[in-house]
Structure 1
Amino acid sequence: MINFKFSRLGFCENPQISTFIHTPRIVCGLRNGPRKPMWRKRVLSTEAIQAVQSLKLAHNSSKLEHVFSTKVCRLLKDDLLDTLAELQRQNELDLALKVFDFVRKEVWYAPDLSLFNQMIMMLGKNKMVEMAERLFVELRNEGLEPDTRTFTEMIGAYFKVEKVSKAMDTYELMKASGCDPDKLALTILIRNLEKAGEGTLSAVVKKECAKYFDYPQKFIEEVERKYPRRKSVVLL
């Protein structure tokens, strides 16, 4: 009988087994879009796995510098980007930011809006709004222009820290910039405005859905069904 031992990344560590077993990770949500079959997903290379593990084990600045100079700097482009993506997946914010800055200094780096969008999403998730705002400015300094996804991530970040007016300002800026809000953006707006008790603003956003969808009422009903309003409790 063979005993199987699995690492945190899902690899079988038994030396008698030459292959690896990958545990599927199911993620649901509009942001991620349709899921591709798991076997088509890119698998982390040994070098990328070692880099992630070494970064997480480096508990001070000198050890981090050593990891960057001995492991991270030797990674090929795809492996380096995979390392960044894996740190984002594990919500290792500080390490992801350091690798993100490292990527932007590489000779092969070309301004990439998707990288900024992923980092802004991560920062918003962790309520680091000021840093997300900084990246929003920096992407423009690199010659990029925010798209619908960028504005949506900023809107979500503001709602995370209950800055409703900032979220609405960003929504207006999105439209003024020529970016049509998609279902994700409008869902985030409607859901969070109603959660914040901003029924009037929510009604305005719902009315504007007619500009972007053929069947706006159906979309609104789906949002309300998925995220029902909380009923207030009256104490007698």
Structure 2
Amino acid sequence: MEASLSLPFRSARPRLHQAPTTSFVTCGLRNSTRRPLWRSDVLSTEAIQAVQSLKLAKSTPRLNHVLGTTLARLLKSDLLNAFAELKRQNEVDLALKVFEYMCEEEWYDTELTLRCDMIQLLGKNKMVALAEVVFSGLLKEGIEPDTRAYAEMIGAYLRADMIEEAMQTYEKMKAAGRTPNEFTLMILIRNLEKAGEKDLVQLVKRDCVEYLDSPKKFLEEVDRKHPKRRSVDLV
């Protein structure tokens, strides 16, 4: 059973709350034109050690102490890379803990990519209610999610077979003026066809004509990767 959520805000800053057996997430962001913090594909020694320490302390009474002492010593880039590595390893509980820590940092408000990564990880693990809180945190501070944020939330719903919610989010995405990209259209077509939602499939395919430069080529590629599907109809 997925955790219930608590949504207190302190001075418009997000806070995450940890229950005895699971994580509670509340977050948001403020608009900024600053570029995201630098990240590297190569983990530093400090980031590697932090990930190892957290994994060793996982499910032990020492975890909160390790979090407080280990993360406080990391540079911003190392902290972000440690989070990315935990995400790569699908250590969702630890990633939530690190995300909670980063929500209190001064630079957190500029990190839209971080929110998208968190929504993606939660969606992958079908923790939809928590993903919704991360996503809605953007709206609570008056910030319209970008294309990727919408796409990750749609993906989270689709993984949980929540077709209606996925389509509602898709419509909100278009209404907000965010152009659906090939990734969004691909996952919608794939999952709607799997669910037997023929009318919705045709709706999304018609949108391909409107939003993509080469819709026929794109839909042919969809059929090539998934040959059991019927030939696409662009009319």
Provide TM-score, normalisation by structure 2: 0.77
Shift of 1:176: 0.3
Partner of 1:209: 208
Shift of 1:44: 1.0
Partner of 2:7: none
Note if 1:125 corresponds to 2:121: no
Shift of 1:42: 3.4
Partner of 1:152: 151
TM-superposition CA deviations, 1:97-142 (whole Å, max 9, x none): 1101101112343332110000001111000111100111112335
Shift of 1:61: 5.4
Secondary structure of the residue that 1:62 maps to in structure 2? Answer: coil
Shift of 1:46: 1.1
Partner of 2:187: 188
CA contact (8 A) 1:117 1:153 kept: yes
* Unmatched runs of 5 consecutive residues or more in structure 1: 1-39, 232-236
Could you say if the C-alpha distance between residues 179 and 202 of structure 1 is closer, same or farther in structure 2, counting changes exceeding 3 Å? same
CA contact (8 A) 1:88 1:122 kept: yes
Percent identity for Structure 1 against Structure 2: 58
Work out the number of aligned pairs and report it: 192
Instruction: Please give the alpha-carbon distance, in whole angstroms, between the structure 2 residues aligned to 1:106 and 1:78.
Output: 13
TM-superposition CA deviations, 1:8-28 (whole Å, max 9, x none): xxxxxxxxxxxxxxxxxxxxx
Counterpart code for 2:114: L
Q: Quick one: higher RCO (CA 8 Å, sep 6+), 1 or 2?
A: 2
CA contact (8 A) 1:195 1:229 kept: no
CA contact (8 A) 1:113 1:144 kept: no
Counterpart code for 1:59: K
Instruction: Please give the alpha-carbon distance, in whole angstroms, between the structure 2 residues aligned to 1:90 and 1:171.
Output: 29
Partner of 1:23: none
TM-superposition CA deviations, 1:175-205 (whole Å, max 9, x none): 0011010000000111111011111110111
Secondary structure of the residue that 2:177 maps to in structure 1? Answer: coil
Instruction: Please give the alpha-carbon distance, in whole angstroms, between the structure 2 residues aligned to 1:122 and 1:76.
Output: 23
Shift of 1:62: 2.9
Note if 1:113 corresponds to 2:86: no
Instruction: Please give the alpha-carbon distance, in whole angstroms, between the structure 1 residues aligned to 2:163 and 2:146.
Output: 21
CA contact (8 A) 1:116 1:135 kept: yes
Partner of 1:81: 80
CA contact (8 A) 2:138 2:144 kept: yes
